[in-house]
Amino acid sequence: MGEVFEFPVRVYYEDTDAGGIVYNANYLKFMERARTEFLRAKGVEQDLLLQEGHAFVVSRTEIDFRSAARFNELLNVITQVIEVKRASLRFSQQILAADGRLVTQAMVQIACVSHPQMKPVAIPEKIKGVLLSAR
């Protein structure tokens, strides 16, 4: 596997259900934030990508829920690029609790599309180079 990027997330009350457990869809939000911050750390700003007529969109997600996270827990989202193709890339992501417990893990496939047409296009070469170096 490639370079590991870590992003901390605190579970807020708004992230939980009536039982104080993180609502399942919010794990996807935590992972989205981590991927965005990974790209930002690599010098890839998605708003500039949009201005250039490209966007990254999620095209597939496989997720396994292993244990529950609760209100006020500090989580760590681990992100790694595992595959880079002409017009797509794949991330492996895990969310770990502060005690090291695996909360959830996912494989997330991202497609590069033209914006606003939303048609698949090649990842711009400068960005592809950054992604390949992190793999």
Q: Please identify every residue annotated as catalytic.
A: 17
Please name which of 18, 17, 49 lies closest in space to residue 124, comparing C-alpha atoms: 49
**Burial class of residue 86, CB neighbours in 10 A (0-12, 13-18, 19+):** exposed
What's the alpha-carbon Rg for the chain, to the nearest Å?
15
DSSP tally for the chain: helices H, then strands E: 3, 5
Q: Measured in Å, how far apart are the chain's first and last C-alpha atoms?
A: 7
3-class DSSP assignment, residue 82:
strand
